[in-house]
Amino acid sequence: MELNDIIKPENRVYQKPRLLNDNHMHYCPGCSHGVVHKIIAELIEEMGLEDKAIGIAPVGCAVFAYNYIDIDWIEAAHGRAPAIATAVKRLQPTKMVFTYQGDGDLAAIGTCETIHAANRGENIVIIFINNGIYGMTGGQMAPTTLLGMKTATTPYGRRVDLNGYPLRISELVAAVDGSCYVTRQSVHTPAAVRKAKSAIKKAFENSMAGKGTSLVEIVSTCNSGWKKSPADSNKWMVENMFAKYPMGDLKNV
């Protein structure tokens, strides 16, 4: 078979999402952000939402999402993405509005905005990347850091008496009346990627249908912050993170 035959459209089995541009990603090798970016770009294109999607990204590793996915973006102050998304969706109810946030942002300084937006039932999607650590700013303890987990600010491990318990945001959001869909997924295997994509698609559909707030938590790795190789990070995540943050739907109204 000639090369020209191989690259014919009918022989193509995969292509890069059209909305994912050619900018070189700054994420560390093995980071989950790039995979989630690809999922989001694919879904927006497949659902025909190119002219309706508006993403809100705050401070942290997620801040540069606008640099990779070619849709309309708004940059929010640290933790304030759900508040900005609320305003955008109320002013533009026909748009599909979503936030893209890490745990240091959403589960720490942004806890108030997250819980109250969900309690009001704002018709937005919150995509929550949970790697249990502050990735961009030096590997400090986050609210989601596991007990005993070593970070830059807990060099001997997180302690209950000093640091409290890990915060399970999805369980909190699922408990309020305004949330319609809360799920926890990962992207460490092809099967997990397919499940995560299906979950985000459902969340996007909920936003357009006006059902309330959807939150998709993606339990992720941070091999730089965890001081592990990408392969070891995935293994550690499965053996440790999944026990505290189990996969699956928490709420589906």
Q: Taking a C-beta distance cutoff of 8 angstroms, is the pair 170, 244 a contact?
A: no
Per-residue pLDDT tens, the chain, 253 aa: give them. 565 666 676 766 667 888 999 888 889 888 999 999 999 999 999 999 999 999 999 888 888 898 999 999 999 999 999 999 999 999 999 999 999 999 989 999 999 999 999 999 999 999 999 999 998 788 899 999 999 999 999 999 999 999 999 999 999 999 999 999 999 999 999 999 999 999 999 999 999 999 999 999 999 999 989 999 999 999 999 999 999 999 999 999 9
> Cα–Cα distance between 2 and 103 in angstroms, integer?
49
Within 13 Å, how many C-alpha atoms sit on residue 52's CB side? 16
Contact 207, 97 (CB under 8 A): yes
Instruction: Give me the pLDDT at residue 1, please.
Output: 56
Q: Which residues of 11-45 are buried (b: 16+ CB within 10 A; e: fewer)?
A: eeeeeebebbeeeeeebbebbbbbbbbbbbbbbbb
Dist CA 196 CA 2 (whole Å): 37
3-state helix, strand, coil in the chain (%, to 5): 40, 15, 40
Spatial distance between the Cα atoms of 10 and 221, rounded to a whole number of angstroms: 36
Instruction: Report the C-alpha gap between 175 and 151 in whole angstroms.
Output: 30
Q: What's the confidence (pLDDT) of residue 135?
A: 82
Q: How high is the pLDDT of residue 42? A: 96
User: How far apart are alpha carbons 142 and 147 in whole angstroms?
Assistant: 11
Q: How many residues does the structure list for the chain?
A: 253
* pLDDT at 4 (0 to 100): 63
Please, are residues 40 and 81 in contact by the beta-carbon 8 Å criterion?
no
What is residue 63's predicted lDDT score, i.e. its pLDDT?
Answer: 84
In this prediction, residue 6 carries a pLDDT of 60
User: What domains can you pick out in the chain, each with its CATH number?
Assistant: 27-245 (3.40.50.970)
**pLDDT of 137:** 80
Kindly state the tokens that stand for 109: 């300084």
* 36 token code pair: 């989630």
Amino acid at residue number 99: T
pLDDT the model gives residue 12: 66
In terms of DSSP H, where are the helices of the chain? 3-6, 33-46, 81-91, 103-104, 111-120, 160-163, 169-175, 190-209, 223-226, 230-236, 242-244
What pLDDT does residue 138 have? 81
Q: What pLDDT score was predicted for residue 165?
A: 97
